[in-house]
Amino acid sequence: MKLRNGIYFPWALLFVGMLTITSSCSYKHYKGFEPVVAENVSPPRLFDTAFSKVVYTTNFRVFNQELSGLTLVKKVKSTNSFHIVFMSQIGLKFFDIEIKPNETEDWFHVNFIMESLNREFIVSTLKTDFMLLFSKYPEHAETGIFRNTENEITETTVRFDKYISSIFTDRNNKITGIELRKGRSVKTSIHITPGKEYPKELDIHNKKGGMNLTWKEIRM
Amino acid sequence: MKAINLYIWLAAMLFPTSFVNAQDDAFGPLTNTDDFVQKVKTRTAATQTIQSDFRQEKHLTMLEEVLESEGHFIFKKENNVVWSYTRPLDYTIIVHNGKFIIKDGDKVKEFDIASNRMFKEINNMIVTSVSGDFLDNPDFEAVYMENEMFYLARLVPVKPEVKDMLSEIDIFFDKKDMQVAKVKFLEPGDDYTLITFSGKVFNEAVPDNVFTVSN
């Protein structure tokens, strides 16, 4: 949000502050957030229904190893699925993952992953990350809404198993942050710079293994 | 009949690349392998440096997507390479003195090629492809073909770790100068990367400082 004199409201700092609160005490809703009575709440979507494709410059870090390259995210309308293809600059593919939002069981499909990345921890963490990015929560998940009227931030919570996911949206209903907690511990946090139909930038930080994934939109 | 000719003409105008590719793909077995091998050896021995522009197309076949990029390429014997991408973003890969250096915008990262198996294999593939120095290379099984314009060396990786990334590397030699005109990296499945070289300059002095970058 742009204030007077070209100063931007530091949403990122606010979000980091929220994470600090979260990790230091049991999960209570952030200060200033009040429950909103609503029925049949659906988690907001990061990729709009009009989205077709985007290319991001990508940095992927895991266990202090770093890979960089490009990621194509493309929606295939005929199958209503998303393909996420991460490749090096010289074109060698690192992984090609397909997300099928309408499938219940086989919604996450690895079409290809380079042998050196084909580790159970990496694949399962990517699955969690993409669950958050594509709002592919379990069927039995329970949702709720909380709103901070002063800052015009809405928090949509999704509870499933022992986890709670919070999705933060701004006054324009654009997602600016997502986090996944288990008990008091933040497992995954995602900082997002929203765009019109898809995120312009995002930074996923997974606590386990220090696995980070950064995307920045690039015009091809 | 005239209508059919018109359709063919229209198709050629609308899809010229597919016609060119069809011509490129019409490769037959090499009639004189010894002659080709000798030409490659002569050319490899005579080439000290190569400087060239390049255009890269990443074909994601199933997704019907082609990601294009371009830049400048420098090779200096024995094992020094610069891939400098200028579009769509500023990104440089340097292979020099056993190091793999990546300059991504303002960030510079350096890797020891020997310490990282993946970088070692990628480096081997890059140098083998662009230098055309694949003869007697035990890491690949080679098949040779030709058409009117090109000799084609089809390299099939032997090492499992390379086979995981690539099913074959096609190196196209221009028959006019026996230099590498394009390289095609084919992956398991149907995806591939095609790198086409243009504006090539051979054996001009290349100072060593082009293979270094500062933070």
Burial A187-215 (b: 16+ CB within 10 A, else e): bbbbbbbbeeebbeebbbbbeeeebebbb
Residue B214 is predicted with a pLDDT of: 67
Is B67's CB within 8 Å of A70's CB?
A: yes
pLDDT at A199 over 70: yes
Q: Mean pLDDT, to the nearest integer, of B48-76?
A: 94
Query: In which residue are the tokens 């929203």 written?
Result: A194
Q: Mean pLDDT, to the nearest integer, of A97-123?
A: 93
CB atoms within 10 A of CB A121: 13
Q: CB neighbours of B174 closer than 8 A, spacing ≥ 6?
A: B149, B150, B180, B181
Chain B CB contacts of A93 below 8 Å = 165, 187, 191
Cβ pair B80, B95 in contact under 8 A: yes
Q: Report residue A46 as tokens.
A: 């990061």
Cβ pair B169, B140 in contact under 8 A: yes
Query: Where does chain B show beta strands of DSSP type E?
Result: 28-29, 49-60, 65-76, 80-87, 91-96, 99-104, 107-112, 140-146, 150-157, 168-174, 180-186, 192-202
pLDDT tens digits, residue range B4-25? 343 333 333 333 333 344 445 6
Does the CB of B58 have a partner CB in chain A at under 8 Å? yes
Residue A134 is predicted with a pLDDT of: 95
Cβ pair B88, A218 in contact under 8 A: yes
Q: Which helix (H) or strand (E) holds A203?
A: strand A201-206
Chain A CB contacts of B191 below 8 Å = 93
CA nearest to B122, candidates B74, B169, B75? B169
Q: Which of B104, B164, B189 sits opposite A115 (nearest CB)?
A: B164
How far is the C-alpha of B105 from the C-alpha of A61, rounded, in Å? 18
pLDDT tens digits, residue range A124-155? 999 999 999 999 999 999 999 999 999 899 99
* Cα A70 to chain centroid, rounded: 18
Q: Report residue A38 as tokens.
A: 């609503």
> Alpha helix locations (H) across chain B?
2-14, 16-25, 33-46, 117-131, 160-163
pTM over 0.95: no
Q: Which of B67, B91, B109 sits opposite A55 (nearest CB)?
A: B67
Is B193's CB within 8 Å of A91's CB?
A: yes
pLDDT at B150 over 80: yes
Nearest chain A residue to B126 by CA: give it: A90
A36 burial class (0-12, 13-18, 19+ CB within 10 angstroms)? middle
pLDDT tens digits, residue range A30-87? 778 888 988 888 899 999 989 999 999 999 998 878 888 999 999 999 989 999 999 9
pLDDT at A109 over 70: yes
How far is the C-alpha of A190 from the C-alpha of A169, rounded, in Å? 12
Q: Report residue A135 as tokens.
A: 């709002």
One-letter amino acid of A3: L
Cβ pair B156, B141 in contact under 8 A: yes
Query: In which residue are the tokens 């400048």 written?
Result: B72
CA nearest to A155, candidates A49, A24, A28, A9? A28
Count contacts between A and B (CB, < 8 Å): 63
Å from B210 to nearest chain A CA?
Answer: 20
ipTM metric: 0.79
Q: Report residue B186 as tokens.
A: 């084919």
